[in-house]
Amino acid sequence: MNKRVYLQTYGCQMNERDSEEVLGMLTAQGYELAEHPEEADVILLNTCSVRAHAEERAFGKMGELSVLKRQNPDVILGIIGCMAKLQRETIFKRLPQVDLFAGPAELYDLPYLLAEIQEKRQFRGGGGGAGGEGNGSRVIAVERTFRPLDKKPAGDYRKPGVTAFVTIMEGCDKACTYCIVPKTRGQEISRPAQDILDEISQLANAGYREVTLLGQNVNSYGKRFPDGSGYRGPLGRLRLLEENPGALLDFPQLLRMIDASTRQTWGQSPFGNSSLRIRFTTSHPFDATPRLFEAMRDCSSVCEWLHLPVQSGSNRILRAMRRGYTREAYLEKIERLRRLIPDISLSTDIIVGFPGETEEDFRQTVSLMRAVEYDSAFVFKYSPRPGTEAAAREDDVPREVKEERNQVLLALQDEISLKRHRRLEGSTLDVLIEEPGKRPGQLFGRTRGNHGVILEGSAGWIGETVSVRIATATAHTLFGERCNGFSH
Ligand code: 5AD
Ligand code: SF4
């Protein structure tokens, strides 16, 4: 019987996509997917370290799994992703039975690492032992500085569906003082453009209708490729722009290449909109330039949506976070973007309770949110991450104050989202139908601006872009009905 693998994912969309790649590599090696950990020969947790809460959830799961592992020592238990890199020592203590640690940069080695454990066990004659400190077949791979993005082993796995993720770059070279990601995911590295184009065209042929390009900071795509080429940094990019713009492969250029190739694949529909939608996330405001906004305007397949995490509206806090922009510079970018794409939909991430955040700093964040009027926002309470610069500062905003600021921003965003959504009432929008809705007879889809829409309809519409007249709106959802005839 084939070996079976169970994989649970925590954290961001990058992690979700990494998990698909891992399952793809393992199924290509003959593994089958197990629905429950009890049925698996290999159990993997793909973990997240971005906030303490994400780590606590994984630690809870590890506790459950340790019982399983004691009952069946032959199982291979692996911790992969960000916590493998960051929390190895703590995990050793809490769960000495773990057989495998692989950091984000080592995920492509997983088939080999699993084979290594199996070999060690065969050599030692028997299973993984009862665990305990003497897990002699343990394998640890966490030292690489970046993932060899051009060397993925064969195999991929995606749930059949309408939308798909495509990784375009890995890692992060920024140094935001609160953030653990540069430590866990390592240095930035970009995937060769042709690999990205090939993957997108395969997805389109397989029936996917929307692709989200993923990276910790997609806007620095092209800085460094696995073969050593790349523009290297903002100065290198500027120099190329002045001297030989045709030779610059950066994110706006990649968008244009993807747009051109999707239109080649699909041709133009009679209404001039191509059938594959492109989104991307996430964008660091420092690297989001007018050149990006122009590419977004020019590329018909690229959706009118930008996730542009601001983190704070106070210059003092932005400086302490080392974000590399001021409130004014951020607002100016938004203004420029809106001039080019007036109906752009915007979302953001905000951290409340960063060390030293005063009431006045917080008011600045409130006023920035009112000024921008995001369509949606994620608000996070600051969580000190060991090893970051900010963690050396006292976490001095009391928990109740963080909670209160969180609530204030969520309520404010609801008010703004409702206002933005209400503006859409009565309009007719293209909605890509993604899946059945929660109630029978309902469907769920998204507008190009990333607004969720619920409508009545038949399951046969899933995967179609339909024209929907928006009837009512709440802060989180639009409700509408399909117009007769074609979209547009
Ligand atoms: N505490 C709270 N939120 C954080 N984020 C990143 N690091 C932290 C932290 N230490 C948030 C940021 C980022 C999002 C993915 O998570 O807002 O944009
Ligand atoms: Fe979590 Fe960040 Fe790692 Fe994603 S990259 S899994 S958000 S720590």
Instruction: Give residue-wise pLDDT tens across range 12-46.
Output: 999 999 999 999 999 999 999 999 999 999 999 99
List the beta bridge partners of residue 169. Answer: 190
Give the contacts of 479 (CB within 8 A, at least 6 positions apart). Answer: 453, 454, 455, 470, 471, 472, 473
- Are 13 and 214 in contact by the 8 Å Cβ rule? The answer is yes
pLDDT tens sequence across 406-434: 999 999 999 999 999 999 999 999 999 99
Taken in order 282, 473, 402, 320, is the CA torsion positive or negative?
Answer: positive
Q: Is 391 in the pocket of ligand 1 (CB under 6 A)?
A: no
Position 122 scores a pLDDT of: 86
Please give the Cα distance from 257 to 252 (Å, whole number).
Answer: 9
Diameter of the chain measured on Cα atoms: 71
Q: Are 285 and 333 in contact (CB under 8 A)?
A: yes
* Mean pLDDT value across the chain: 93
Could you tell me the pTM of the whole model? 0.95
Q: What pLDDT does residue 487 have?
A: 45
Q: How far is the CA of 179 from the centre of ligand 1 (A)?
A: 6
Cβ neighbors of 133 (< 8 A, separation 6 or more) are 96
What was the pLDDT predicted at 126? 54
Per-residue pLDDT band for 488 (boundaries 50, 70, 90) equals very low
When mean pLDDT is compared across 89-98, 176-185, 323-332, the lowest value belongs to: 89-98
CA of 241 to the centre of ligand 2 (A): 32
76, 5 Cβ separation under 8 angstroms: no
Ligand that lies nearest to the alpha carbon of residue 183, given by its number in the listed order? 2
Q: How far is the CA of 309 from the centre of ligand 1 (A)?
A: 10
Give mean pLDDT, residues 217-237: 95
User: Does residue 282 have a cis bond before it (omega within 30 degrees)?
Assistant: yes
pLDDT in the model for residue 134 = 53
Instruction: State whether the beta carbon of 14 lies less than 6 angstroms from ligand 2.
Output: yes
160 or 395, which is more confident? 395
C-alpha distances (whole Å) from 91 to each of 49, 62, 98, 244 are: 13, 9, 8, 50
Q: Is the peptide bond before 47 cis (omega within 30 degrees of 0)?
A: no
Determine if ligand 2 sits within 6 Å of the CB of residue 105. Answer: no
What pLDDT, on a 0 to 100 scale, did the predictor assign at position 125?
A: 66
Burial of 301-317, coded b for 16+ CB within 10 Å and e otherwise, reads bbbbbbbbbbbbbbbbb
Question: Which residues, in sequence order, are CB contacts of 155 under 8 Å at separation 6+?
Answer: 24, 25, 26, 27, 28, 29
With a 6 Å cutoff on the Cβ, whether 9 touches ligand 2 is no
**How far does residue 394's CA lie from ligand 1's centre (Å)?**
17
Nearest-ligand number for the alpha carbon of 309:
1
- Quick one: angle between helices 110-124 and 13-28, nearest 10? 50
Quick one: pLDDT band at residue 485, thresholds 50, 70, 90?
low
- The runs of H, that is alpha helices, within 351-461 are 359-372, 399-422
198's tokens: 């090939």
The contacts of residue 452 (CB under 8 Å, 6+ apart) are 444, 445, 446, 476, 477, 478
Q: Give 47 Cα–ligand 2 centroid separation in angstroms.
A: 8
**Local structure of 165: helix, strand or coil:** strand
